[in-house]
Each structure stands twice: as C-alpha cells, then as structure tokens.
C-alpha cells in the first residue's frame, strides 16, 4: 500500500514536467519567475531521480525476495523428497516388520483342558483323572460324587468328599485316588452291596464338565459310562428306593449296556 511519500514521489515529477512544458511555451516576463521555474524543474528532476532510485531499490528487494523464496522452495522440495524416500523405505521394510511384530503380540487363544475319568481296581475301586493329549493345562482339577448304597439306602449318600488337585499337564493324569476304599465309605458298605450314582469332573480351564454313571458291586467290580448332555444324578433317597428293586431295568435306560466300560 502507498504512503504519502510515495504519492509525492510519483506526482512531483509529473507536476514539474507539466510546469516545465508550460514555461517553455509561455516563458515568464520577469527574470526571477524564470529562475523559480528553473529551480522547480530541477527539483522535479531530483524527484524523478529519487523515484527512479526507489524503483531500482524496490526491484532489487523484489529480486532478493524472489531468490529467497526460490531457495526456500528448493530446500522444501529437498525435504519433501527426503521424506518420500523415508516413507518408501518404511513401507517396504519397516511396516511389514511392525505388522508382524504387532500380530506376534496378539494374545493366542488358550487351548482348554479336556478332563475325563477312569475307574480302576475292581476289588476296591479307585479313580484316575486324565487330561487329553494336546489339551491345555488343567488348573485345579476337581471331581465329586453322589453315590447311594442301593442295599443300605437308609444309610444316606456315601461320604465321598469333593477332591481337588493342583494341575494336570496335557496328556498326563492324576491318581489313582482312593474312592471306594475311603474309610468313611468302607464303614457304610459291605461286600456284595450295590452302589450306584454319578461322578463328575471339571476345572476352571476345562472345555466341559463330564459326568459318569457309576455302578459298583462292592469287592467284585462294576462299570461306568459317560452321560450325554447335562449331568444327571439320583435326586433323592425316595428315587433310590424306587430304582433298587428293579435296578437292571432302570440302569438299561440310564446307561445303555453297549456303551458301558468295565472297571479294570
């Protein structure tokens, strides 16, 4: 934007040139008027020279500014080129590596434990807890039972406490653990008694809870069979009193004979 000095610098040569042209056409009658006119013309020449000088300086300043801008643009272009090269290197090498690292940090889904039961020793039945090969670690494996002596129903359920272990590795087992040989059980049953009910096994990391029907003829042996679906039990002593006289018929319904596993 032009200031007052700029306007004076621009307008003065124009006015003085007009004055000089007028004097040349109609010279003043008096000598001092002529001197005054000449002085004004000289001032106009000086003003014109000043204007030209200012224009020259302005051009130099503009050239310097443009040179600086060109230098800045060239520097910016060099920076942009360097960043592009870095991005190319990053995209070709680092990013895939970083993606692989991030994927490696993602938590793997834990493999669940897979517990099952085996019953051994026909003369005094014991229990083994197996964790399947390839399964995950079984943390705090636990088993519990609800068994009734069908020949001594008034003696209530057998006193078999809930038992828990520390852990079982994949493909490993826990036991054999005393079962029918527990003192609290042996004090209630006698050889030849029929013991029937359910036994379950599970753990916090297990894929499922498994429940088995178990039949034991004390001192002789018996069989067991894994239940399908949700675990079932003998719900009451009254139910046991109904089952006892016709055990074979009820057992064929609960546990089909072709799926039973003999206690070895």
Per residue in 49-83, pLDDT (tens digit) is 666 667 667 767 777 777 778 877 888 888 888 77
Model pTM? 0.60
The tokens for 263 are: 């206690």
Q: Considering only 89-98, 107-116, 167-176, 238-247, which range has the smallest mean pLDDT?
A: 89-98
Residue bearing tokens 């809870």: 209
Position 78 scores a pLDDT of 82
pLDDT tens track for 35-55? 666 666 666 666 666 666 676
Position 7 scores a pLDDT of 58
Q: Predicted confidence band at 215 (pLDDT cuts at 50, 70, 90)?
A: very high
Long-range pairs of 86-95 with CB within 8 A, sequence gap ≥ 24: none
Tell me the angle at which helices 31-89 and 4-25 cross, rounded to the nearest 10 degrees: 140
Q: Considering only 93-97, 164-168, 195-199, 260-264, which range has the smallest mean pLDDT?
A: 93-97
- Average pLDDT, integer, range 28-33: 58
pLDDT tens track for 135-158? 999 999 999 999 999 998 877 889
The arrangement of secondary structure in 115-262, i.e. its CATH architecture, is Sandwich (2.60)
Long-range pairs of 238-242 with CB within 8 A, sequence gap ≥ 24: 240/148, 240/150, 240/153, 240/196, 241/153
The CA-atom distances, in angstroms, between 40 and each of 15, 27, 31, 250 are 10, 14, 14, 138
Beta bridge partners of 131: 115
């Amino acid at each position: 934007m032009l200031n007052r000095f700029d306007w004076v610098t621009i307008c003065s040569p124009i006015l003085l040139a007009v004055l000089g042209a007028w004097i040349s056409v109609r010279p003043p009658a008096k000598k001092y008027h002529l001197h005054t006119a000449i002085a004004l013309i000289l001032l106009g020449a000086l003003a014109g020279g000043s204007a030209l000088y200012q224009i020259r300086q302005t051009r130099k300043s503009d050239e310097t500014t443009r040179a600086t801008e060109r230098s800045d643009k060239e520097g910016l272009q060099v920076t942009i080129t360097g960043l592009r090269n870095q991005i190319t290197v990053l995209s070709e090498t680092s990013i895939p590596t970083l993606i692989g690292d991030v994927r490696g940090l993602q938590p793997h889904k834990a493999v669940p434990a897979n517990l099952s039961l085996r019953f051994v020793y026909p003369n005094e039945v014991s229990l083994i807890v197996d964790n399947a090969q390839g399964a995950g670690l079984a943390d705090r494996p636990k088993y519990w039972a609800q068994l009734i002596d069908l020949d001594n129903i008034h003696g209530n359920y057998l006193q078999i406490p809930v038992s828990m272990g520390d852990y079982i590795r994949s493909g490993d087992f826990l036991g054999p653990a005393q079962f029918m040989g527990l003192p609290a059980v042996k004090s209630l049953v006698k050889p030849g008694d029929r013991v029937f009910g359910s036994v379950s096994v599970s753990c916090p990391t297990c894929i499922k809870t498994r429940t088995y029907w178990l039949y034991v003829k004390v001192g002789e042996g018996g069989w067991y069979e894994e239940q399908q679906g949700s675990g079932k039990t003998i719900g009451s002593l009254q139910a046991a009193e109904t089952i006892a006289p016709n055990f074979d018929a009820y057992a064929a319904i609960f546990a089909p004979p072709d799926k039973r596993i003999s206690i070895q």
